[in-house]
A and B are shown apart, each in its own frame.
Chain A
Amino acid sequence: MAAVKSSGRAAVNRLAVVGVIIATLIFLAPIYWIASTAFKPRALATTVPPTVLFQPEITSFIKLFVKRVQMNKAVDPATYAAAPWWEQRIMDNGERVLRTGDNVQLSGYPSRFMNSLIIAITSTVLAVGMGTFTAYGFSRFRVKGEADLLFFILSTRMLPPIVVAIPMFLMYRAVGLTDTHIGLIILYIAFNLSFSVWLMKGFMDEIPKEYEEAALVDGYTRMQAFFKIVLPEAATGIAATAVFCFITAWNEYAFALIMTNRRAQTAPPFIPSQLGSGLPDWTVIAAGTFLFLLPVAIFTFALRGHLLRGVTFGAIRK
């Protein structure tokens, strides 16, 4: 009887694993498809039936970074031979690279990518910095109305971006902060600060008070104890919080769409705007998407032990 039961359970287990494999393949198919489109020749990107096997190439990434126009006649063989290899790939597609003098003109993508990096990194450092101090304050000292204050801090995170964006847009316009890096950085700090306080408070609560108390007895000031004892203990938590804040700022779309249009525009509003009208070159869009998603994918693996905690604002710690 027992044998029947356990072999039945083993069969269920095996079936579940098959289910897991199928589900994983279905879930990863969209990501695989966008990644593979980035490496396809343009002619194979939108075929019916879809092209699965192809010779991967990086032409779309070259096209992503430079400004180019359609050529109206075939390229002169001497010019072709004199061009560097990457430019030849563009000429193969019947296009030529635009230059000012001898300098290759860059497309909008590299500057948007840089904007995303600058804005996400700066806002993360500041939000996590402030959040760490505040979390320590809440974790170690008695604060009047602590629960209400923490609720207030969390509730700022729950505000729909569009609701906040309307008055912020008017205020930014009045002081000239629209389409500036600093403008978006401030918005992203405000957006991430509450998250950072809540997550860091969880990490701070886990560091035994006795560590600092021992240091205080040894003659450290509270400030020294914080910097020399607590911060090193909280390093993992700070890193995890920072990665979460970075990803949030990196991915943010609504504020960036409303507050920026060129100079400080980040990648999320820029990448879809490439679709434009007419026949889009999906290989270039896919290349831009691939490069944009890559850091997030890497960070997700780096974070895997803290994901649950992060997405629940530190409420569930496993």
Chain B
Amino acid sequence: MTSVATKMDSLARPAQRRGLSDLGIRNLFIIPTVLFLIVFNIFPLIYSLGYSFTDFSASANAPANFVGLRNYRELLGDENIWANFVITAKYVIISVSGQMIVGFGLALLLNRTFPMKGLVTTLLLLPMMMSAAVVGLFWKLLYDPSWGIINYALGLGDFAWLSNPDAALFAIAITDIWMWAPFVMLLSLAGLSAVPKYLYEAAAIDRAGTWYTFRRITLPLVAPILLIALIFRTMEAFKTFDIAYIMSTQPTTEVIAIRLYKQAFQQWDTGKSCALAYIVLIMVLAITNIYVKYLNKVKER
């Protein structure tokens, strides 16, 4: 209540001051950012919405012809595009569930006091701070069929991870899990440390078993933060481009972002790629909407 009062208050008496009024400062501080984002994010999207109804090709000199909804109709009826979406879904499921399991598992292990805990936690977080393109590149060294350390360590002989159509998507997902399990771990650790100690003490007094305590106390209290991690990672995995593009050229790893890139910048099928971009965009916005609603809910707690 007091904060509202001060806000109104400071807006109500700008005139008596030297310099800019509060209203002026507010506008000066906020409007440039909003304009910048409109010019460089929203305007391009409107621009490409226009192109999505044409047969425009950025490599040809021909003017764009209006083709109505043909691009959208063709895309939605194209089995290959659906195959790309299926690959993307598979990738999202494998890699996000892997990240959740590994990340939460690591958090459970770390959730106690031991020497050098801070250092160990930070070391474990390193992968997620790295460039996905460069991570993909050096995992190619690790996955090499003839001299990679992964095959050597696991005794797999010359198993070709990345050039095997069935294994490639898993190989990329494993790399993604390595990279992003630390993210889930970081969030889970915050969730775990927020569980009040007295609940565990009470459970111990009641002689509750470890599994029972975990299922009835730990899990429900950490669930909201795990859900944030899940939605955020799903959204990011759905957009995956770098890591898959660098690691494999197999058709079985062609996630939707790679399909879009090839259509736009290799086949120069600009009009149709704009339409595909819109289909992807709508899906991403749907996930984002869920995410932000959820973030706000958690923030209110």
Partner of A296, one of B129, B225, B257: B129
Total A-B residue pairs with C-beta atoms closer than 8 Å? 286
Please state if B183 and A171 are interface contacts (CB–CB under 8 Å): no
A16 within 8 A of partner (CB)? yes
- B96-138 to A contact mask, C-beta < 8 Å, 1/0: 0000000000101110101000101111111111111110111
User: Of the 9-residue stretches B28-36, B66-74, B77-85, which lies at the interface with chain A?
Assistant: B28-36
- A194: chain B residues within 8 A (beta carbon): 37
Please state if B142 and A160 are interface contacts (CB–CB under 8 Å): no
- A188-224 to B contact mask, C-beta < 8 Å, 1/0: 0110011001000000000001000100100001111
What is the CA–CA distance of A16 and B260 in the complex, to the nearest angstrom? 44
What is the CA–CA distance of A23 and B110 in the complex, to the nearest angstrom? 10
Please state if A251 and B132 are interface contacts (CB–CB under 8 Å): yes
Number of interface residues of A (CB under 8 A): 103
- A157-195 to B contact mask, C-beta < 8 Å, 1/0: 011111111111111010000000000001101100110
User: Of the 9-residue stretches A68-76, A89-97, A105-113, A137-145, which lies at the interface with chain B?
Assistant: A137-145
- B121: chain A residues within 8 A (beta carbon): 304
- A260-281 to B contact mask, C-beta < 8 Å, 1/0: 0000000011011001000000
A30 within 8 A of partner (CB)? yes
B226 within 8 A of partner (CB)? no
Beyond the given pairs A27-B182, A197-B33, 4 more chain A to chain B contacts, judged by CB atoms under 8 angstroms and listed by A's residue number, are A140-B7, A153-B33, A165-B264, A251-B133
Task: List 6 A-B residue pairs with CB atoms under 8 Å apart, sorted by A's residue number.
Answer: A20-B110, A160-B239, A166-B277, A189-B36, A193-B36, A253-B131
Chain A contact residues, CB within 8 Å of chain B: 5, 12-13, 16-17, 19-20, 23-24, 27-31, 33-34, 37, 46-50, 130-131, 133-134, 136-138, 140-143, 147, 149, 151-156, 158-171, 173, 186-187, 189-190, 193-194, 197, 209, 213, 216, 221-224, 226, 247, 250-254, 258, 268-269, 271-272, 275, 282, 285-286, 289, 292-293, 296-297, 299-301, 304, 307-308, 311-313, 315-316, 318
Chain B contact residues, CB within 8 Å of chain A: 3, 6-8, 10-11, 17-20, 22-23, 25-26, 28-30, 32-34, 36-37, 40-42, 44-45, 47-48, 51, 58, 106, 108-110, 112, 114, 118, 120-134, 136-142, 144, 146-147, 149, 152, 178, 182-183, 186-187, 190, 204, 210, 225, 228, 232, 235, 239, 241-242, 246, 257, 260-261, 264-265, 270, 273-274, 277-278, 280-281, 284-285, 288, 291-292, 295-296, 298-299
